[in-house]
């Protein structure tokens, strides 16, 4: 007959194995972008299991990809006799966690609101700040990334608590974005398919004006018979130039200017005959 203690031992072993499987399923794969945050979640998940150093080490290794294992290959191949988990954790933080200088640089220069909520941006900034800046300084940095309208509302608010300000900013941004979407939809068309928006109307008017100018230009250049009209401005200019020349008492017509005394024709008021008479008197 089996001893009474055999069944409970097997039951406890099965429950322990099941508990570890359950715990492992609740732990996500390692986050190289946020290693410290991953370890914080990992330790929170295994806290109630009272796992020893060996079990924590094994669970962590199981959540590493090939890339991550290659960075800790010496520890995995030859783990220390004690504090395996701490050695593995410290190495992964050294490899993947950004330096304090890099975190501050990202905090000051690289963060943007984008599609995030203001509260989400604040949490990201808190994570990078790591208590290096007080709430007053962090508030100035955070508000500098917000739209001008949101900054104006927060500035006049009597709320000083940064978390409450972030909640207020979320509501203002949500309301502003909703108003912008509504205004854009109204501008496009109140009845789609029947009423063109403002841009379409401007384009249509521009095309109509271009066609009108083209038709006017053709009308000025061609007569009703389809032949090109003479260039009145050019002929008028030539006529005015001829009138100016004729007012000159020394003006010669074309025939006398070209053929002199051999000219058989004359156009008045030509000064040829007058010049000839003056020359005879001098002689």
Reported as a single tens digit per residue, the pLDDT across 33-42 is 888 889 999 9
The pLDDT score that the predictor gives to residue 147 is 85
Asked whether the predicted pLDDT for residue 272 surpasses 70, the reply is yes
The pLDDT score that the predictor gives to residue 225 is 55
Reported as a single tens digit per residue, the pLDDT across 98-139 is 766 776 777 777 778 878 888 888 888 888 777 777 888 888
Reported as a single tens digit per residue, the pLDDT across 70-79 is 999 999 999 9
Instruction: Please compute the mean of the pLDDT values over residues 233-242 and round it to a whole number.
Output: 54
Reported as a single tens digit per residue, the pLDDT across 247-262 is 677 778 878 878 888 8
The pLDDT score that the predictor gives to residue 41 is 92
Answering whether pTM is above 0.85, one says no
Q: Which of 52-56, 86-90, 98-102 has the lowest mean pLDDT?
A: 98-102
Asked whether the predicted pLDDT for residue 201 surpasses 60, the reply is no
**Burial bucket for residue 142 (CB in 10 Å: 0-12, 13-18, 19+):** buried
Q: Please give the Cα distance from 85 to 92 (Å, whole number).
A: 11
Percent of the chain at pLDDT exceeding 90? 17
Q: Please give the Cα distance from 199 to 79 (Å, whole number).
A: 69
Asked whether the predicted pLDDT for residue 89 surpasses 90, the reply is yes
The pLDDT score that the predictor gives to residue 1 is 47
Spans of all domains in the chain: 7-96, 100-175, 242-282
Q: Please give the Cα distance from 86 to 66 (Å, whole number).
A: 20
């Amino acid at each position: 007959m089996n001893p009474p203690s055999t069944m409970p031992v097997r039951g406890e072993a099965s429950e322990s194995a099941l508990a570890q499987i359950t715990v492992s399923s609740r732990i996500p794969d390692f986050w190289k972008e946020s290693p410290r945050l991953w370890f914080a979640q990992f330790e929170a998940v295994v806290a109630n299991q009272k796992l020893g150093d060996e079990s924590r080490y094994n669970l962590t290794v199981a959540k590493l990809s090939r890339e991550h294992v290659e960075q800790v290959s010496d520890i995995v191949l030859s783990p220390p006799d004690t504090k395996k988990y701490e050695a593995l954790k410290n190495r992964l933080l050294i490899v993947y966690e950004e330096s304090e200088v890099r975190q501050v640089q990202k905090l000051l220069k690289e963060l943007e609101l984008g599609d995030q909520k203001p509260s989400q941006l604040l949490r990201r900034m808190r994570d990078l700040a790591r208590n290096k800046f007080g709430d007053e300084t962090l508030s100035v940095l955070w508000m500098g990334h917000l739209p001008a309208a949101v900054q104006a509302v927060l500035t006049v608010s009597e709320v000083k608590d940064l978390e409450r300000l972030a909640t207020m900013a979320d509501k203002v941004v949500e309301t502003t974005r909703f108003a912008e979407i509504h205004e854009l939809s109204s501008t496009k068309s109140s009845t789609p398919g029947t009423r063109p928006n403002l841009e379409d109307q401007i384009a249509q008017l521009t095309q109509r004006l271009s066609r009108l100018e083209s038709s006017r230009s053709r009308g000025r250049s061609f007569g009703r018979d389809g032949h090109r009209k003479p260039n009145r401005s050019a002929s008028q200019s030539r006529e005015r130039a001829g009138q100016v020349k004729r007012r000159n008492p020394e003006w010669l017509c074309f025939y006398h200017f070209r053929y002199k005394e051999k000219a058989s024709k004359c156009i008045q008021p030509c000064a040829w005959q007058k010049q000839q008479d003056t020359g005879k008197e001098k002689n």
